[in-house]
């Protein structure tokens, strides 16, 4: 016990709040403060995703114009996902699909799957040693269909400005199921602007579109917001299984680093969107790429879980200072 304080919330902790008004009305927020710089807003009613991320009081993430949207407003048809896509720091895509709406083997799959718009059915949090831990369980299940369960832990250190998302996906059904998961992590202003320094030590970069191919030589360079610009997306391939992406902002002396097992999460996408108000950089580890599910299946990249089988994924995020090299760029 700290003899200087009456309650732990003086220095760190987790508090539950509810939104009032607008399309987010009634949504629960878990405000997590680690006491040394990190503040996260976790949304239990949206898959336990991370809506807001701040470091030393400064925003790190991107919020789309739609803001907070409760799951009741979700429409899974075609690209109506975008009407409730808050983005935030983390939107989980899957578990049935990731990417644009598509059809595979006679089944129509929605944009980015539906898990991000499912509320947690179980929720608990507490302190373990020097960590604040939130535990959640989200079901992606239906009658006569897939039965997948996402068991999520968000672990926030109180001694380092580090947090981890640790997920276990369980096939609770009686048949083999294809499973896709993509961690749609979204960097926003003021961490992101034309002076940001992006580092992704990939050995191969592949554009998704002809427009992206035109800018492949500048995939690492950010620009000022541009009117009526289109997004550019790139696939990054890592050689040694060490997934790594880092964005630094010299003006803030702040850098955000994402690490993950690139053998496990073998599909990493950079989403570069330099539009007016649609100004965001997505750094997205996944076990798939955001594309048609049939494409993933045909390339052999679609992952499967047998009945009763489970698999764990983890992504680590660290906030800190820029290097001297980053400050000089």
- Whether 283 is covered by a domain: the verdict is yes
CATH of the domain at 129: 2.70.98.10
Instruction: Give, rounded to a whole angstrom, the gap between the first and last alpha carbons of the chain.
Output: 45
pLDDT at 78: 86
Q: Which domain holds residue 263?
A: 14-328
pLDDT at 2: 85
Q: What's the domain count of the chain? A: 1
pLDDT at 260: 98
Report whether the peptide linkage leading into residue 265 is cis, meaning its omega lies within 30 degrees of zero. Answer: no
pLDDT at 249: 98
- Whether 127 is covered by a domain: the verdict is yes
Q: What is the pLDDT of residues 27-46, one digit of tens each?
A: 999 999 999 999 999 999 99
- Whether 5 is covered by a domain: the verdict is no
What pTM, to 2 d.p., does this model score? Answer: 0.97
SS3 at position 293: helix
| Residue tagged 């995939």 (tokens) | 219
Distances, alpha carbon 105 to alpha carbons 26, 108, 165, in Å? 38, 9, 32
As beta bridge partners, residue 18 has: 28
Angle at 245 between CA 316 and CA 130, to 5 degrees: 20
Cα 174 off chain centre by: 29
User: In which residue ranges of the chain is pLDDT below 70?
Assistant: none
- Whether 167 is covered by a domain: the verdict is yes
- Whether 7 is covered by a domain: the verdict is no
- Whether 8 is covered by a domain: the verdict is no
Phi/psi at 83 (5° precision): -75, -20
- Whether 115 is covered by a domain: the verdict is yes
- Whether 311 is covered by a domain: the verdict is yes
Percentage above 70 pLDDT, the chain: 100
DSSP assignment of 178-211: EEEEEEEEEE-TTTSSTT-EEE---SEEEESSHH
- The upper half-sphere exposure of residue 24, i.e. CA atoms within 13 Å in the direction of its Cβ, equals 16
Phi/psi at 204 (5° precision): -150, 135
């Amino acid at each position: 016990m700290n003899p200087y304080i009456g309650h732990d919330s003086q220095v760190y902790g987790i508090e539950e709040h509810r939104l009032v008004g607008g399309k987010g009305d009634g949504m629960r927020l878990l405000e997590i403060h680690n006491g040394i710089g990190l503040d996260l807003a976790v949304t239990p009613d949206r898959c336990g995703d991370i809506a807001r991320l701040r470091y030393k009081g400064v925003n790190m993430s991107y919020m789309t114009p739609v803001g907070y949207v409760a799951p009741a407003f979700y429409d899974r048809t075609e690209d109506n996902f975008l009407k409730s896509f808050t983005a935030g720091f983390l939107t989980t895509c899957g578990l049935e699909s990731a990417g644009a709406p598509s059809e595979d083997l006679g089944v129509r799959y929605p944009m980015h799957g539906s898990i991000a718009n499912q509320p947690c059915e179980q929720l608990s949090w507490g302190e373990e040693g020097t960590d604040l831990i939130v535990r959640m369980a989200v079901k992606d299940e239906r009658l006569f269909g897939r039965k997948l369960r996402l068991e999520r832990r968000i672990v926030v250190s109180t001694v380092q400005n580090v947090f981890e998302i640790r997920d276990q996906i369980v096939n609770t059904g009686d048949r083999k199921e294809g499973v896709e998961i993509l961690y749609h992590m979204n960097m926003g202003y003021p961490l992101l602007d034309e002076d940001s320094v992006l580092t992704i030590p990939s050995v191969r970069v592949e554009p998704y579109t002809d427009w992206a191919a035109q800018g492949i030589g500048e995939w690492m360079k950010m620009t000022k917001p541009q009117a009526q610009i289109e997004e550019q997306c790139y696939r990054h391939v890592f050689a040694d299984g060490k997934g790594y992406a880092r964005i630094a902002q010299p003006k803030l002396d702040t850098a955000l680093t994402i690490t993950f097992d690139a053998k496990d999460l073998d599909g990493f996408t950079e989403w570069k969107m330099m539009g007016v108000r649609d100004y965001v950089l997505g750094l997205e580890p996944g076990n798939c790429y955001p594309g048609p599910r049939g494409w993933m299946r045909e390339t052999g990249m679609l992952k499967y879980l047998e009945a009763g089988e489970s698999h764990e994924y983890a992504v680590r995020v660290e906030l800190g200072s820029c290097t001297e090299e980053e400050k000089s760029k």
